[in-house]
Amino acid sequence: MLNIETKEKQLQEVAEQINELKSEIARFIVGQQAIIDQVLWAIFSGGHALLEGLPGLGKTMLVRTVSEVIDLKFSRIQFTPDLMPSDITGTMLIEPTEDGKRQAFTFHKGPVFSNIILADEINRATPKTQSALLEAMGEKTVSVMGETKQLPEPFFVLATQNPLDLEGTYPLPEAQMDRFLMKLYVEYPSKEELKQIVHLTTGTEVTKVRKVIDRNRIIEIQNLGKEILISEEMIDYAIALIMATHPDEQQAPESVKKYVRYGSGPRGLQALIKIAKVRALCAGRYHVSTGDIKQAAKPVLRHRLFMNFEGEANGFTSDQIMEDILASIGES
């Protein structure tokens, strides 16, 4: 009984601290409440997030504000066509030894050796440079000249990208897309939100945010999120959603069979469960509900669905497909 009471107290404390975190971010970021929630889900589940939206919607500012309220080492990498992989990971340089009698290779760390990485406009860089993040994102290590370097804990990549129909962009490789736990769409603000943005950013008053949470607390919340209970029924429901993304599955809706080339793999299922657990944790609950899985489905799976030629020609999006999947699985 004492253990249950202790856990309930822990959950309540976490929920209150996360609400405080969101309130502090909201002092500087107008609207985008769903995106703020989803970025925090990614962080507390130990994963990476990709934010997509038109230029000027505040993607970079959102990530920077999140880094300011979290007491962690932060690095920003501005992706450009001339960026080299070594500009991200670091490089070996020949330098004199301490005694000055000889020279030796010394590793100089790149900006990837931080806790929070803002990969700004990641699809502006060439595929070779984009792939330099693959090992860092997947293994949390960097290999330079045969040596493996461990990245600090915790480690998150929060990347932004512009839509691919804009000039000068390179589509992310499918393998790298799958490394992102979530893909988030930053929507255009409403009329009232635009008015708030003007008042906040064009006046004389400067809004400053404060640190709310530190490294050790983030690791504690991540570990607590792993303890959130999930029933076999909820796991089966998540599996049914994943299976329904494949066109050769009998339970897949007609839109999937007609317009999807291939769907999510096991990593998508793992991400779905992780985010559902963290969403329950943020709500102060010790168990995963159907609602948690449904709310996690689109941001977790939208970049893991690949349209065939007919789907692309007809303008179908992965979000439309996910709505069909959620409707069909919910009815069965």
For residue 59, the domain's CATH number is 3.40.50.300
317: left (phi > 0), else alpha (psi -120 to 50), else beta? beta
Residue 242 and residue 187 in one domain: no
Q: Is residue 19 part of a domain?
A: yes
Residue 160 and residue 240 in one domain: no
**Separation in Å, CA 332 to CA 29, 126, 327:** 40, 44, 9
What is the predicted pLDDT for the residue at 1? 40
Tokens describing residue 62 = 């959102």
Range of the domain at 274: 228-332
Indicate the pLDDT class of residue 275, thresholds 50, 70 and 90: very high
Do you find a cis peptide bond into 154, omega within 30 degrees of 0? yes
Residue 220 and residue 293 in one domain: no
pLDDT over threshold 80, residue 140: yes
What is the predicted pLDDT for the residue at 273? 94
Residue 166 and residue 314 in one domain: no
Residue 38 and residue 94 in one domain: yes
Q: Is residue 207 part of a domain?
A: no
Residue 91 and residue 164 in one domain: yes
Each residue's pLDDT tens digit, 70-128: 888 888 888 888 888 888 888 777 777 676 677 777 777 888 888 888 888 888 888 88
pLDDT over threshold 60, residue 332: no
- DSSP E strands, 97-214: 103-109, 116-120, 141-144, 147-150, 156-161, 182-185, 213-214
How does the average pLDDT of the chain come out, rounded?
82
Indicate the pLDDT class of residue 210, thresholds 50, 70 and 90: confident
Each residue's pLDDT tens digit, 172-192: 777 778 888 999 888 776 777
**Region of poorest pLDDT, from 86-90, 131-135, 153-157:** 131-135
Q: Is residue 206 part of a domain?
A: no
What is the predicted pLDDT for the residue at 318? 86
Each residue's pLDDT tens digit, 300-328: 999 888 888 888 888 888 888 899 999 98
Q: How many CB atoms lie within 10 A of CB 83?
A: 18
Q: How many domains does the chain have?
A: 2
Q: Is residue 238 part of a domain?
A: yes
Q: Is residue 255 part of a domain?
A: yes
Radius of gyration of the chain (CA): 21
Residue 170 and residue 234 in one domain: no
Dihedral sign, Cα of residue 264, residue 170, residue 160, residue 125: positive
Residue 196 and residue 57 in one domain: yes
CATH number at residue 270: 1.10.8.80
Residue 222 and residue 237 in one domain: no
Q: Is residue 82 part of a domain?
A: yes
Residue 188 and residue 278 in one domain: no
Asked whether the beta carbons of 303 and 183 are under 8 A apart, the reply is yes
Residue 77 and residue 170 in one domain: yes
Q: Is residue 205 part of a domain?
A: no
Helix (H) or strand (E) holding 7: helix 2-26
Residue 50 and residue 165 in one domain: yes
List b or e across 116-140, with b for residues whose CB sees 16 or more CB atoms inside 10 angstroms.
Answer: bbbbbbbbbbeeebbebbebbbeee
pLDDT over threshold 60, residue 331: no
Range with top average pLDDT, 233-237, 264-268, 328-332: 233-237
